[in-house]
């Protein structure tokens, strides 16, 4: 008997865990898909304003149906009206949430809705269940939790408003356009948590280490730094700096082409966000490479640039500039520790965050107007949180007219105790003090593979095609310990292309170093050259850490891979 109990104990424990997990999943589904009723308030710029908000549990991405009453159903004996043949005449999707109201776009159905039209969250929508594993009991759990859906079968090719996809480790809910609305772990040990417009991953507890710990490959240093032909800072050419560093060291790799990447320290971890075509992955690089989240972007489209924003020590956000539906749409996502929730979505402006005070935290969020002809507009403002939404104000410092917030760094690099603006534009590095240009490099900086080619005026008879590039932001760090920060930027050799979806090819890339000394600007390199583009860089605890990616996958050739590499700076 004892032997039998011993054999059954793991099975009973597993069964209890499974029942507990499904109870949590059912409860969470019931809460996330609970009915919410409201009304259309008015039309606003191609969207509609609804009288619902987050206080009612509404999240960005939620679907609301407009139900049109049909023919009465009359009992043939009693003559009593027992119902009506109602139909869903329109489906709306929430795009932005404000205090007291929300914005929504029409996904299908009636193009014009009158003020006062009743709306119902997740009511009467067509749904499909797709089982990608052995989750045969999942559908009954979903039906119990969300009884108002109309089930259309189990094929992913079936037209529907909602798709419930059960895989080996998660239940994902997507809309008709493939956008992820909710994600629930199916692992019993992980409690189901709300994840509006997010894909969560198993949370991994990493050691509390502030910077990557990597054992470099020993390489003999050939000698001291040799400075040659320094140039006046006000000149338009560069000097030379002959410097040799040890080779790169590999922290890890993952199977995606990275178009944009950004690093940020937060809560004892050093986070890396890597963006591809419509996907954002978050890693902790404090001790190797540990994936914390694998999420879709809130706006469907091509991710052009991402940037961590940390307005306070306890809050972290990710800004994603996305090219979707032939226009720029920018999202602000709040980091939850293993995924994102949407704060703002679909904004028609560029955003990027900066460490304005040099404390290592990207607390300053700047916004730049989107101009369809030039891509980068003239007006730059500061964005900040006012309650649960963004507000804007004038910046507190001077900005040159040709400034671009994408591919820029704000830091004191001359030692005058005032931050300079350094940015990459048209393959050159510019350094400004206010509106005064201090330096312009040779045309060898940048050549990012992140960009977009588009028609300036799609409605015009004759197309006018232009290409915009989102450069990799330089970083500023004191590499030699003299108390003055140097600029580390990505240099590259390649061919600029004017093809849709591809901005440039890169034959070689490297880390270029720019150092101010005695009114001169010295230039050098850090580490070896790479035969692949670098799409993100940071300097942490005496090491330069970067993300290099395989360009072949962008052209339809080769394998998708990205490599996180490091090299000592001294």
Mind listing the pLDDT tens digit for each residue in 246-255? 477 888 888 8
96 vs 403, residue with greater confidence: 403
Q: Where in the chain is the domain with CATH 2.40.30.20?
A: 32-124
Lowest mean pLDDT across 37-46, 143-152, 205-214: 205-214
Helix 138-145, helix 2-32: angle, nearest 10? 40
Identify the pLDDT of residue 374: 92
Q: pTM above 0.85?
A: no
Which residues sit opposite 151 in a β-bridge?
127
Q: What is the pLDDT of residue 315?
A: 95
The tokens describing 186, both together, are: 């199916």
Higher pLDDT, 263 or 217: 263
| Residue 439: per-residue pLDDT | 94
Report pLDDT for 239. Answer: 32
Please report which confidence band the pLDDT of residue 212 belongs to, taking 50, 70 and 90 as the band edges: very low
Question: Bridge partners of 163?
Answer: 128, 174
Q: What is the pLDDT of residues 6-37, one digit of tens each?
A: 343 333 323 333 333 334 678 888 888 999 99
Contacting residues for 222 by C-beta, under 8 A, at least 6 apart: 244
- At 245 the pLDDT is 31
Q: How far apart are alpha carbons 444 and 147 in whole angstroms?
A: 60
Determine the pLDDT at residue 200. 34
Kindly tell me the burial class for residue 471, based on how many C-beta atoms sit within 10 Å of its own C-beta (0-12, 13-18, 19 or more).
Answer: buried
Residue 336 and residue 198 in contact, taking contact as beta carbons nearer than 8 Å: yes
Provide the H-helix boundaries in 122-258.
Answer: 138-145
DSSP-based three-state secondary structure for 55? helix
Lowest model confidence (mean pLDDT) among 104-113, 123-132, 138-147, 229-238: 229-238
The CATH class that applies to domain 32-124 reads: mainly beta
Closest CA relative to residue 364, chosen from 348, 385, 379? 385
Share of the chain above pLDDT 70, in %: 80
Tell me if 488 sits within 8 A of 472, measured CB to CB. no
Give me the pLDDT at residue 505, please. Answer: 65
Average pLDDT on 407-431 reads 95
Q: Which two tokens stand for residue 503?
A: 């901005």
Count the neighbouring beta carbons within 10 Å of the beta carbon of residue 245: 20
In a 3-state reduction of DSSP, which class is residue 54?
helix
Reading the block at residue 117, the tokens are 């039209």
Instruction: Give the single-character DSSP code of 71.
Output: -
For residue 156, what pLDDT is reported? Answer: 65
CA-nearest of 565, 555, 566 to 257 is 555
Average pLDDT of 257-281? 93
Nearest to 352 by CA among 472, 272, 444: 472
**Is 434:416 a contact under the CB 8 Å cutoff?**
no
SS3 360: coil
pLDDT in tens, 266-276: 999 999 999 98
Local structure of 28: helix, strand or coil: helix
Mean pLDDT of 398-402: 94
Question: Which of the given ranges, 9-23, 87-101, 219-233, 374-388, has the highest pLDDT on average?
Answer: 374-388
At 288, is the pLDDT very low, low, confident or very high (cuts 50, 70, 90)?
confident
- pLDDT above 90 as % of the chain: 46
Residue 57: the pLDDT is 87
Domain 226-395+405-568, architecture per CATH:
6 Propeller (2.120)
pLDDT given at position 557: 47
Tokens 């949590």 sit on residue: 24
- Name the DSSP letter for residue 4: H
Q: Which residue has the higher pLDDT, 97 or 545?
A: 545
- The segment(s) of the chain belonging to CATH 2.120.10 are 226-395+405-568
Q: What is the overall mean pLDDT for the chain?
A: 80
- The more confident residue out of 278 and 136 is 278
Q: Per-residue pLDDT tens for 506-525?
A: 778 999 999 998 888 899 99
Residue from 431, 449, 450 nearest 512 by CA = 431
383 burial class (0-12, 13-18, 19+ CB within 10 angstroms)?
buried
DSSP code for 142: H
Q: Decide which of 496 and 542 is more confident.
A: 542
Q: Is the pLDDT of residue 210 over 50?
A: no
> Given this model, what pLDDT does residue 308 score?
98
- Check residue 311 and give its pLDDT: 96
Q: Flag whether pLDDT at 209 surpasses 50.
A: no
Residue 335 CA to residue 114 CA, distance in Å, equals 37
Q: Is the pLDDT of residue 364 over 90?
A: yes
Helix (H) or strand (E) holding 32: helix 2-32
Instruction: Return the SS3 of 139.
Output: helix
| Dihedral, CA of residue 431, residue 432, residue 437 and residue 440, to nearest 10 | 10
Q: What is the structure's pLDDT at 157?
A: 63
Written as six digits, the tokens of 116 are: 């006062």
């Amino acid at each position: 008997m004892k032997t039998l109990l011993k054999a059954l104990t793991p099975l009973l424990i597993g069964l209890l865990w499974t029942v507990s997990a499904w109870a949590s999943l059912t409860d969470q589904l019931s809460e996330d898909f609970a009915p919410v009723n409201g009304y259309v308030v008015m039309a606003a710029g191609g969207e509609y304003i609804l009288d619902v908000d987050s206080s009612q549990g509404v999240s960005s991405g939620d679907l609301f149906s407009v139900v049109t009453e049909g023919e009465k159903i009359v009992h043939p004996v009693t003559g009593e009206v027992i119902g009506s043949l109602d139909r869903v005449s329109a489906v709306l999707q929430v795009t932005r949430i404000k205090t007291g109201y929300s914005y929504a776009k029409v996904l299908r159905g009636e193009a014009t809705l009158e003020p006062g039209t009743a709306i119902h969250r997740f009511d009467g929508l067509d749904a499909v269940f797709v089982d990608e594993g052995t989750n045969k009991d999942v559908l009954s759990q979903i039906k119990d939790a969300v009884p108002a859906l109309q089930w259309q079968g189990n094929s992913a090719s079936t037209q529907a408003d909602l798709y419930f996809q059960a895989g080996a480790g998660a239940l994902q809910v997507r809309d008709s356009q493939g956008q992820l609305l909710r994600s629930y772990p199916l692992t019993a040990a992980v409690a189901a948590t709300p994840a509006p417009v997010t894909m969560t991953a198993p949370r991994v507890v990493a050691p509390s280490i502030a910077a990557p710990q990597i054992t470099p490959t020993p390489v003999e240093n050939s000698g001291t730094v040799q400075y040659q032909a320094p140039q006046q800072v006000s000149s338009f050419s560069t000097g030379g700096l002959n410097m040799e560093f040890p080779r790169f060291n590999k922290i890890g790799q993952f199977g995606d082409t990275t178009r944009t990447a950004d690093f940020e320290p937060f809560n004892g971890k050093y986070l890396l966000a890597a963006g591809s075509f419509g996907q954002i992955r978050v890693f902790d690089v404090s001790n190797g490479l540990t994936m914390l989240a694998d999420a879709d972007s809130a706006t469907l489209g091509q991710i052009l640039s991402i940037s961590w924003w940390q307005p306070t020590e306890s809050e972290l956000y990710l800004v994603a500039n996305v090219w979707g539906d032939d226009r720029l749409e920018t999202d602000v996502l709040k980091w939850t520790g293993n995924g994102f929730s949407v704060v703002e979505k679909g904004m028609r402006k560029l955003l990027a965050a900066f460490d304005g005070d040099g404390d290592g935290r990207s607390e300053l969020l700047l916004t730049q107007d989107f101009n369809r002809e030039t891509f980068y507009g003239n007006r730059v403002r500061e964005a900040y949180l006012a309650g649960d939404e963004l507000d804007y104000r004038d910046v507190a410092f001077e900005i040159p007219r040709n400034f671009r917030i994408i591919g820029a760094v704000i830091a004191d690099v001359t030692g005058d105790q005032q931050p300079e603006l350094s940015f990459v534009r048209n393959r050159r590095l510019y350094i400004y003090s206010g509106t005064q240009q201090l330096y312009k490099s040779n045309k060898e900086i940048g050549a990012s593979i992140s960009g977009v080619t588009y028609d300036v005026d799609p409605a015009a008879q004759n197309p006018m095609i232009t290409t915009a590039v989102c450069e990799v932001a330089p970083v500023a760090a004191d590499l030699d310990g003299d108390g003055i920060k140097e600029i580390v930027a990505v240099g590259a050799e390649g061919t600029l292309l004017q093809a849709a979806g591809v901005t440039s090819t890169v034959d070689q890339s490297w880390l270029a170093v720019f150092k101010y000394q005695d009114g001169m600007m010295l230039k050098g390199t850090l580490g070896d050259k790479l035969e692949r583009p670098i799409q993100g860089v940071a300097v942490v605890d005496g090491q330069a850490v970067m993300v290099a990616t395989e360009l072949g996958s962008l052209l339809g050739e080769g394998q998708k891979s990205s490599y996180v590499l490091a090299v000592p700076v001294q």
